[in-house]
Amino acid sequence: MLPWNVHPPARFTGPAFFMAVAFLLAASILPPAACAAPLSDHQATLSALSDVQAAIAEIVGADQSYSTDKKVYYRASQRAINALEGTRGPEYVAAAGSAGDAAGAIGHIDSLLDRKETPVWAPVLDSAEANIRAAIAHLADARHAHELMDYDIAVSRALTYLLVARGGPADIGAFGGLEGVLANTVLGVPDGATIADGCAEPTAAPSYGVHGGYLAWVAVPAGEGTHQLAESAGEQSVIIRNGMILLPTAAAPLVAKECNSHAQVRPSSPSQATATATLSQPAKTTASGADSAPPALYTKAQAEAGAQVFASKCALCHGANLQGTAAPSVAGTDFLSTAQHNGWTLEVIRYLVFNDMPFNAPASLSSTEYADVLAFLLASNCYPAGDKPFPTADDPGFANVKLGPVPGSHPGKNQFGVCPDG
Ligand code: HEC
C-alpha cells in the first residue's frame, strides 16, 4: 500500500479533507484477503477495522431497509458474524457470504497479538477483541430470534459493542478501539513511511513522529497538491510551519511528557504557528474518577422540552422516572454503571436513540425532538446544563464523551431515580 498518494493537479483541500478521506481510503486500498504474504501490522489493523466497519454497515443497512422479511435480517447478522469471525470461526456460515475478508476482525487481531512482547497497543486490541466477541454472541442470538423485536434488541446490543471496538481516533485508551490505535500508535504508520523521533520537531515531510510505540504527529508537505493520509490522526488542530503541515495526534501530550525534553510537539502559543485551523473540538472526556468537570452539552430549556418528549414517546417503556419498566433504565446509577462498564460514549447513545428509539417506531421523531430528549437524558443523569444547545446533527466530539457517573453527583436516592437537580 502506498502511504501517500499525491495527485499534483488537485488542490490542497483543507484539514476537513484529511478527516473525510482517511477511512474511505483505508478501506478501499486494502490488499485482497487471500494474499499469500502475511500482512504488516499496519495492514492487519486496517483490515480488522474494515471488517468491523463492514459488519456495522451490514446490520445498519438491514435496519434501514425497513424490510418485513425476517430473512433479510438473519442474512445481515450472519454476514456481519462472518466479517467479524472469519472463515475459521465456529459461527461462520459460508452460504451467507461475508461482508469482510477471510481472516475476519478476530483473525487479524489475533495475528497482531500473537507475539512475545506487549506493545503499547496490545491492551487496546485485547479489549477490542472482547467487544467483538460480545457482539458476535448477540448477533448469534439475533439469528435465532423469532420476533423482530427480539432481533432488534440483540442487534442493537451487538452494535453498541461494535461501536466501542471501532472506537475513535481521539482516544488513546481502551475506548479508542481500532481507530484509536491507528491514529495514535505505530500501528498507524503505513508500510515504508518515514519514521522520525516523536520527541523532536519534524524535519522532513511526509514523516511520522514515533516515541515509545506512540504516534505523536504526522507531518505532511504544505506544497500544492492533495495529500491523502492513510487514516485519520484524530488531530484537533493543524499546524502549518516551515513548509509543512503538522498534525499532532491525541497521543501528543503523553509523548511530550515522556520525552522530558524541551522539544515541543505543539506550539505553546497560537502566534508561533503560521496558521492554526481548528477542527471540531471534541468535548472533554468524563471518565469517572477524573476530577475534570463534565462538559455542558445542552441548555436547561432544551431539557425541559425534552421532558415532554420523554413523557409522550419514551415513558411507556422506560418508566415515568426513567427507572425502566418494559425496557432498561435510562438514568441513574444502574444505567450509568452499565454505560461505564460497556464503554458507551455519547456517540453510541445518541446513535441508539436517534436511530432505534422509540423502539416501536424508530427514527419517527423530528431531529429537534431527539436533541431535546437527549438533553433531558443528560440532565436526568446529572450532566450540567450550559449555554450551548444539544445539536440536532452528530458531532464527532461525542465519541470522546464517555458516559458514567458524574463525579460528585447523586443521581437519585434509589438505584434508579432521577438526578435531583435535573
Ligand atoms: C416500545 C418500547 C420503547 C420505547 C417507546 C422507547 N424505548 Fe428505548 N429501549 C427499548 C428497549 C427494548 C431497549 C433495549 C434495547 C437494546 O438493548 O438495544 C431500549 C434501549 C434504550 C436506551 C439504551 C439503554 C440500554 O441500557 O440499552 C436508551 C438510551 C433509550 N432506549 C432511550 C429511549 C428514548 C429517548 C425513547 C423515546 C424517544 C425511547 N427509548 C423509547 C424500548 C423502548
Q: What is the 3-state secondary structure (H, E, C) of 213-227?
A: CEEEEEEEECCCCEE
H or E element, residue 26: helix 15-28
Q: How far is the CA of 294 from the centre of ligand 1 (A)?
A: 24
Residue 325's pLDDT band (cuts 50, 70, 90): low
Mind listing the pLDDT tens digit for each residue in 164-177?
899 988 888 777 89
The Cα–Cα gap between 301 and 11 comes to 44
Q: How far is the CA of 419 from the centre of ligand 1 (A)?
A: 19
Indicate which residue's Cα is closest to atom 4 of ligand 1: 358
CA distances from residue 109 to 33, 152, 403 in whole angstroms, order as listed: 14, 28, 26
Q: Are 383 and 405 in contact (CB under 8 A)?
A: no
The Cα–Cα gap between 418 and 422 comes to 7
Kindly calculate the radius of gyration of the chain based on its CA atoms and give it in whole angstroms.
Answer: 22
* Average pLDDT estimate for 11-28: 34
Indicate which residue's Cα is closest to atom 26 of ligand 1: 328
pLDDT at 227: 64
Largest Cα–Cα separation, the chain: 64
In ligand 1, the atom with minimum distance to the C-alpha of 155 is 18
Instruction: Dig out the grid coordinates for 18 from the structure.
Output: 484529511
In ligand 1, the atom with minimum distance to the C-alpha of 369 is 38
Mind listing the pLDDT tens digit for each residue in 192-244?
899 999 988 888 888 999 998 999 999 988 776 666 665 565 555 677 777 78
Domain ranges of the chain: 17-184, 192-278, 300-400
Indicate which residue's Cα is closest to atom 19 of ligand 1: 327
Neighbouring-strand partners of residue 277: 238
Instruction: Dig out the grid coordinates for 262 from the structure.
Output: 524541551
Q: How far is the CA of 327 from the centre of ligand 1 (A)?
A: 6
What value does the mean pLDDT of the chain take? 78
Q: Return phi, psi of residue 138, to 5°.
A: -70, -35
The Cα–Cα gap between 271 and 294 comes to 29
Question: What's the burial of 321, exposed, middle or buried (CB within 10 Å: 0-12/13-18/19+)?
Answer: middle
Indicate which residue's Cα is closest to atom 25 of ligand 1: 328
Sequence length of the chain is 422
With H, G, I as helix, E, B as strand and everything else as coil, classify residue 368. Answer: helix
Contact residues of ligand 1, CB 6 A cut-off: 153, 156-157, 313-314, 316-318, 326-328, 330, 338, 349, 352-353, 357-360, 365, 373
Q: How far is the CA of 358 from the centre of ligand 1 (A)?
A: 6
Residue 49's pLDDT band (cuts 50, 70, 90): very high
In ligand 1, the atom with minimum distance to the C-alpha of 160 is 18
pTM value?
0.56
For domain 300-400, the CATH architecture is Orthogonal Bundle (1.10)
Neighbouring-strand partners of residue 214: 185, 211
Neighbours of 358 (CB within 10 A): 18
Q: Are 96 and 82 in contact (CB under 8 A)?
A: yes
pLDDT at 77: 93
Q: How far is the CA of 359 from the centre of ligand 1 (A)?
A: 6
Mutate to test the pocket of ligand 1, among 310, 322, 359, 416 (most ligand atoms within 8 A of CB): 359
Q: Return phi, psi of residue 347, to 5°.
A: -60, -45
Mind listing the pLDDT tens digit for each residue in 104-145?
999 999 999 998 888 999 989 998 999 999 999 999 988 888
286 half-sphere exposure, CB direction, 13 A CA radius:
29
With H, G, I as helix, E, B as strand and everything else as coil, classify residue 277. Answer: strand
